[in-house]
């Protein structure tokens, strides 16, 4: 597929949580599509390594240390991107997760866990989207925002109920944001991954649990971070130029079997 078809050549993309895992996969796929990428993460050392990988692909990149649930850090992230590139064309809200180790059912967990999960997975999307969109509107950029959701939003998720609920809220929020930002020429979509082969998943599943879950996936393997990155690039690109407010499920058919 040519870079011209994607329309991402020399566009500026900001990817939150991009020092590893899915975020890193997104950053590298955008670079391969011709975009310049701002790497954002809480740890600067790993972020710098990914930025170097982007530059090795022939694109420009900077690393920004930021904890994106914090407004002051988001403001600094935006300022760094604008100082280097003067514009932001695509914002990827990849940061999300649970409030620590899943403690069990709702009866077994506590409000602090629930609040932290919603803070990380939902409030962060709102905060970062407002910053991305304000920058695009001010510069009259017809940009794209992509939210990383989860197939946990589409089914019962015992033990991580608040995570599934927060990701379902992200999917609903994507629709409303698309409606509000559409008049400015800004598209908002989401990608909902299933299980992705990352260090976080390895820490969460035993080898036996992993094998059992892979056996239920029609495509018979876990996703790689690059798989999810390609889907994010697709919905951010000109190929999806008439698509907004949608969630693209990227789970290898996992959700088809419940």
Asked if 163 is an active-site residue, the reply is yes
Distance CA 174, CA 129 (A): 10
Handedness of CA 195, 62, 243, 240 (dihedral sign): negative
How far is the C-alpha of 128 from the C-alpha of 137, rounded, in Å? 14
Structure tokens belonging to residue 125: 């999307």
Distance of CA 213 to the CA centre of its chain: 23
Distance CA 23, CA 94 (A): 6
Q: Of 172, 193, 168, 237, nearest to 180 (Cα)?
A: 172
Question: How far from 131 is each of 48, 57, 134, 135, 179, CA to CA, in Å?
Answer: 23, 28, 5, 6, 17
Q: Which of 30, 114, 132, 163 is catalytic?
A: 163
Residue tagged 């798989």 (tokens)? 227
Rg (the chain; Cα; Å)? 17
d(CA 242, CA 149) in angstroms, rounded, equals 21
Say which residues have a Cβ less than 8 Å from residue 21's Cβ, sequence separation at least 6: 196, 198, 199, 200, 225
Strand locations in 10-134, DSSP E?
12-16, 36-41, 61-65, 90-93
137/222 Cα distance (integer angstroms): 38
Active-site positions?
A: 163
């Amino acid at each position: 597929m040519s870079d011209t078809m994607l329309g991402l050549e020399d566009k500026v993309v900001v990817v939150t949580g991009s020092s590893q895992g899915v975020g890193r996969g997104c950053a590298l796929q955008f670079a391969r599509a011709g975009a310049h990428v701002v790497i954002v993460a809480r740890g600067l050392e790993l972020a710098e390594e990914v930025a170097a990988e982007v530059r090795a692909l022939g694109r420009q990149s900077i690393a920004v240390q930021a904890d994106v649930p914090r407004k002051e850090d988001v403001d600094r992230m935006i300022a760094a991107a604008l100082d280097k590139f003067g514009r932001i064309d695509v914002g990827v809200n990849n940061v999300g997760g649970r409030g620590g180790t899943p403690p069990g059912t709702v009866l077994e967990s506590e409000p602090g866990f629930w609040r932290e999960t919603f803070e990380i997975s939902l409030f962060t999307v709102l905060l970062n989207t407002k910053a991305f969109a304000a920058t695009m509107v001010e510069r009259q950029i017809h940009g794209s925002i992509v939210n990383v959701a989860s197939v946990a939003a589409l089914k019962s998720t015992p033990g991580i109920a608040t995570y599934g609920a927060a990701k379902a809220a992200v999917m609903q929020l994507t629709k409303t944001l698309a409606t509000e930002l559409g008049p400015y020429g800004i598209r908002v979509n989401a990608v909902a991954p299933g299980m992705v082969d990352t260090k976080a998943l390895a820490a969460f599943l035993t080898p036996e649990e992993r094998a059992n879950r892979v056996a239920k996936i029609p495509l018979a393997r876990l996703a790689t971070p690059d798989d999810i990155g390609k889907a994010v690039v697709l919905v951010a690109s000109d190929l999806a130029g008439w698509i907004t407010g949608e969630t693209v499920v990227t789970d290898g058919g996992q959700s088809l079997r419940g």
